[in-house]
C-alpha cells in the first residue's frame, strides 16, 4: 500500500443497528474501532448474540496494533470476548468502558488481554496513527469521539453522541474541539446516523430527571418500579437520588443492573449511600410507599426480571393494583412487539404503567438532526461517510450533508465488507472483504449456513418424526411394528390415526424391498424418504424425520 493511502474496512455498524466494528489500515498497521454485538431476530432460533465476522482481522492479525473503544454499550464492546480469543492487541477506552469490559471478561477467564485507560484530550501514538480522544455526551458515561490522524489525512469518528446542554456530569460534548479540528481541516467525517430521521434536538438527560421527580411526587403511596437500561448510569444516578428524596428503599433486580451499579460505584461514576439498598427477598417487610424497585426488562427481553414479573413467574414479586411501573426507555427498533406485550400484561394485572408515549421518561443518547448539522458545520469535512444506522438512516444522512452544501461525489455509503481507500484528495471504494455475521450459541460459534440453524428452523416450523424399526439380521424380516414418535406434526385429535397410518405405510413400503443383507444406511434412507413424502401429502408439512434401524 502506498504511503499516502488509508484503507477503511467496515465489518459492522453500517446498513444495520449494532455490532459496530471498523478497521483502519495504513502502512501495514491496523487499528480497530469498537467490537460490538447485536441480538438475534426471530429468524435465528436459539442464538444468544450475533457478532461481526472477523475473518479479515484474523487473516491480518499480525498488523493489528490496537482495539479502541468509543464507549461501553454492548453494540460496541459485546464481541470483545470472542475477538480476543483470536486477536491479541491492547484495548484502549475510558475508565468506565474498561471497567465494563473487565466485568464482561470475568465470564471468559481463559482469555487474557491488556487494557489501557484514556481520557478526553489524550493523544495516543500508535505506529503511523495518532488518535485524539474527544469528550461527547451519550446515554452512558465515558463516551469518546476520535480524531484519527495519518499521513493520508485525518478522520473524525464521532462514535455515538448527542449534544446535551444540561449534562449530569457538567461537561458538554466538546464542540470547541470539533470546531478547532474543523478549522485545521478534516479529510473525512464518519458520523453516527441513528436518530438522523428525527428533527430538532434530543432531550436532555436532566429533563428526564424532572419528569421522574413529578411521577415520584404524584405517586407517593404506590410501590414504584422503574425499568431502564442498566448501562445508563446517569439515569440510575437520578433514580437513586429520587429514592433518597422521597424516602424509599431501593431493591435491584436483574444481574446486569446489579453488576453495572457495582462497577459504577467502584470507579466513582455513581454515588449513593448503600444504606438505601435492600435485598429483593426483604421487600415484604416494607410498605408500598417505602419501596423503589429498579429492574431490567425495559426491552421486553423474555428472561428479564420485569418480563417474568408480568408473567407471574418472578418468585419474590407479584404485580398488584397499587404498583406503578415506569419504562424509562424507548423500544429499540425490532423490540416494539415484545415491549408492548409486557406493558399490556402489566396493565392486565392491575398495575399502572407509564412509558415514553405517555410522558418524557426517556431521553435518547443519539443526536437528532440539528445536533448532527452542528457537527457537520463545525467539522466542515472534505469527505463524508455516514455510519451507525440502517440503510435508510445512511441515505437520509447523506441527503442532510448535501443540504448543508457537500457535493454528492464526496459522500460514500458503505456496506458491511466495504473497503474504502482515502488519500488527502480522494476517496473511493476499492473492494469487499469477507464480512457478515457470526452466531454465538452458548460456547459455540456458527454462521448463517450452519446445519444446526437450518435444523432448528425446521424443528420450530414443522416439528419432527422418529421412526424406530427392528429387522431380523438373518431373514431380513421386519420384527413387530415400527415405533413412531411425532412432535409438532399433527394435532392431538388426529395423532392416533396418523401414527397408525404411518406405521402401515412403512411396513408396506419395506415389503417391496429385499432387506436380507441390505445395508442399514440404505434402509434408513428409504424410511426417511417414504415417511417425508407421506407426511407432506397428508399435512403439507416437512418435519425432520429420523429413522433408527435395529438389527435383531
pLDDT digits (tens, 9 = 90+) for 44-87: 555 567 889 999 999 999 999 999 999 999 999 999 999 999 99
pLDDT at site 2 = 46
What pLDDT band is residue 3 in, cutting at 50, 70 and 90?
A: low
Q: How many CB atoms lie within 10 A of CB 401?
A: 24
- pLDDT value of position 48: 64
pLDDT of residue 125 exceeding 70, the answer is yes
Which CATH number is 6-200+364-446's, of 3.40.50.300, 3.40.50.620, 3.30.70.260, 3.60.15.10? 3.60.15.10
Q: Are 205-354 and 463-551 in the same CATH fold?
A: no
Topology adopted by domain 205-354: Rossmann fold (3.40.50)
pLDDT single digits (tens) 216-253: 999 999 999 999 988 888 899 999 999 999 999 999 99
Burial of 304 (0-12, 13-18, 19+ CB in 10 A): buried
Integer Cα distance of 370 and 165 in angstroms: 13
pLDDT value, residue 1: 42
Q: Per CATH, is 463-551 categorized as 3.10.20.580?
A: yes
Give which of 495, 494, 527 is closest to 509, Cα–Cα: 527
pLDDT, tens only, 393-445: 999 999 999 999 999 999 999 999 999 999 999 999 999 999 888 877 655 56
Say if residue 197's pLDDT is above 70.
yes
Query: How does pLDDT run across 20-51, given as a tens digit for each residue?
Result: 999 999 999 999 999 999 876 665 555 567 88
Least-confidence region, from 345-349, 474-478, 541-545: 474-478
Give residue limits of the domains in the chain: 6-200+364-446, 205-354, 463-551
Distance (Å, rounded) from C-alpha 140 to C-alpha 71?
7
Q: Which of 4-18, 39-53, 476-490 has the highest mean pLDDT?
A: 4-18
| pLDDT of res. 62 | 96
- pLDDT tens digits for 447-458? 555 666 676 777
Model confidence at 542: pLDDT above 50: yes
Greater pLDDT, 473 or 7: 7
Q: What is the mean pLDDT of residues 354-371?
A: 92
Name the pTM for this structure: 0.83
Average pLDDT over residues 459-487: 83
351-377 as b/e, with b when 16 or more CB fall inside 10 Å?
A: bebbbbeebebbbbbbbbbebbbbbbe
Residue 412 confidence (pLDDT): 97
Give the integer Cα–Cα distance in Å for 194 and 210. Answer: 25
Cβ-based neighbour number of residue 180 at 10 Å: 11
119-139 b/e (C-beta count within 10 Å ≥ 16 → b): ebeeebebebbebbbbbbbbb
Does residue 509 have a pLDDT over 90? no
- Average pLDDT value for the chain: 90
Q: What is residue 539's three-state secondary structure? A: helix
Mean pLDDT of 520-546: 88
Amino acid at each position: 500500500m502506498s504511503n499516502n493511502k488509508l484503507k477503511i474496512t467496515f465489518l459492522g455498524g453500517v446498513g444495520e443497528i449494532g455490532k459496530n466494528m471498523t478497521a483502519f489500515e495504513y502502512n501495514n498497521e491496523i487499528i480497530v474501532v469498537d467490537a460490538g454485538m447485536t441480538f438475534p431476530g426471530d429468524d435465528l432460533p436459539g442464538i444468544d448474540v450475533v457478532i461481526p465476522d472477523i475473518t479479515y482481522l484474523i487473516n491480518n492479525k499480525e498488523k493489528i496494533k490496537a482495539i479502541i473503544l468509543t464507549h461501553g454499550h454492548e453494540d460496541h464492546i459485546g464481541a470483545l470476548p470472542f475477538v480476543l480469543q483470536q486477536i491479541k492487541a491492547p484495548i484502549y477506552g475510558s475508565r468506565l468502558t474498561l471497567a465494563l469490559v473487565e466485568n464482561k471478561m470475568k465470564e471468559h477467564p481463559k482469555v487474557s488481554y491488556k487494557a489501557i485507560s484514556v481520557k478526553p484530550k489524550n493523544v495516543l501514538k500508535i505506529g503511523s496513527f495518532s488518535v485524539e480522544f474527544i469528550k461527547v455526551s451519550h446515554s452512558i458515561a465515558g463516551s469518546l469521539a476520535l480524531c484519527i490522524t495519518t499521513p493520508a489525512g485525518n478522520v473524525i469518528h464521532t462514535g455515538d453522541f448527542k449534544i446535551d446542554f444540561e449534562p449530569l456530569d457538567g461537561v458538554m460534548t466538546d464542540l470547541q474541539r470539533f470546531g478547532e479540528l474543523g478549522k485545521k481541516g478534516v479529510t473525512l467525517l464518519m458520523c453516527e446516523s441513528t436518530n438522523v430521521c428525527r428533527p430538532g434536538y434530543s432531550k436532555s438527560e436532566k429533563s428526564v430527571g424532572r419528569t421522574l421527580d413529578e411521577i415520584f411526587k404524584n405517586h407517593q403511596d404506590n410501590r414504584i418500579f422503574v425499568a431502564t437500561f442498566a448501562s445508563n448510569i446517569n439515569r440510575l444516578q437520578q433514580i437513586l437520588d429520587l429514592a433518597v428524596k422521597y424516602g424509599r428503599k431501593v431493591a435491584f433486580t436483574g444481574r446486569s443492573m446489579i453488576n453495572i451499579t457495582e462497577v459504577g460505584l467502584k470507579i466513582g461514576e455513581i454515588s449513593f449511600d448503600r444504606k438505601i439498598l435492600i435485598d429483593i427477598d426483604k421487600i415484604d417487610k416494607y410498605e408500598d410507599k417505602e419501596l423503589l424497585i429498579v429492574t431490567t426488562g425495559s426491552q421486553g427481553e423474555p428472561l428479564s426480571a420485569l418480563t417474568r414479573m408480568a408473567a407471574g413467574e418472578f418468585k419474590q414479586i407479584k404485580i398488584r393494583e397499587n404498583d406503578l411501573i415506569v419504562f424509562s426507555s424507548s423500544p429499540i427498533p425490532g423490540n416494539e412487539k415484545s415491549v408492548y406485550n409486557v406493558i399490556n400484561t402489566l396493565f392486565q394485572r392491575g398495575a399502572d404503567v407509564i412509558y415514553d408515549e405517555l410522558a418524557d421518561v426517556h431521553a435518547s443518547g443519539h443526536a437528532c438532526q440539528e445536533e448532527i448539522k452542528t457537527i457537520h458545520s463545525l467539522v466542515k469535512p472534505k469527505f463524508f461517510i455516514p455510519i451507525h444506522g440502517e440503510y435508510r438512516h445512511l441515505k437520509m444522512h447523506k441527503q442532510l450533508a448535501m443540504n448543508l452544501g457537500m457535493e454528492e461525489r464526496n459522500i460514500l455509503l458503505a456496506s458491511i465488507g466495504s473497503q474504502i481507500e482515502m488519500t488527502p484528495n480522494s476517496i473511493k471504494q476499492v473492494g469487499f472483504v469477507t464480512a457478515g455475521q457470526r452466531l454465538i450459541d452458548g460456547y459455540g460459534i456458527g454462521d448463517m449456513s450452519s446445519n444446526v440453524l437450518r435444523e432448528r428452523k425446521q424443528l420450530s416450523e414443522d416439528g419432527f418424526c422418529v421412526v424406530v424399526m427392528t429387522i431380523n439380521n438373518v431373514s431380513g424380516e421386519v420384527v413387530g411394528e415400527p415405533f413412531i414418535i411425532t412432535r409438532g406434526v399433527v394435532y392431538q385429535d388426529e395423532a392416533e390415526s396418523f401414527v397408525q397410518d404411518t406405521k402401515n405405510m412403512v411396513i408396506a413400503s419395506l415389503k417391496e424391498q429385499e432387506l436380507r443383507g441390505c445395508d442399514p444406511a440404505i434402509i434408513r434412507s428409504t424410511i426417511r424418504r417414504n415417511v417425508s413424502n407421506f407426511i407432506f401429502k397428508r399435512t403439507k408439512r416437512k418435519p425432520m424425520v429420523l429413522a433408527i434401524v435395529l438389527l435383531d
